[in-house]
A and B are shown apart, each in its own frame.
Chain A
Amino acid sequence: MTLHEFIFYIVVPILSISVLLILWRFLIGPSIVDRIIALDLIVTTGIGFIAGYSILTNRPSFLDVAMILALIAFLGTVAFSYYIQKRNKK
Chain B
Amino acid sequence: MTDNVLAQELVAQFQTRYPSGATVHGNLRFPIDQFSITVLFGPSGCGKTTILRCLAGLHRPQQGVIRFGSETWLDTNAKVCRSPQERDIGFLFQDYALFPHLTVSQNVGYGLNQLSAVARQQRVGEMLSALKLTGMEARYPHQISGGQQQRAALARVLARRPRLLLLDEPLSAIDNSLRAQLRTELRSVLTEFCIPVVLVTHDPAEARELAHRVVDMSDGQSTMTNADDLG
Is A bound to B? no
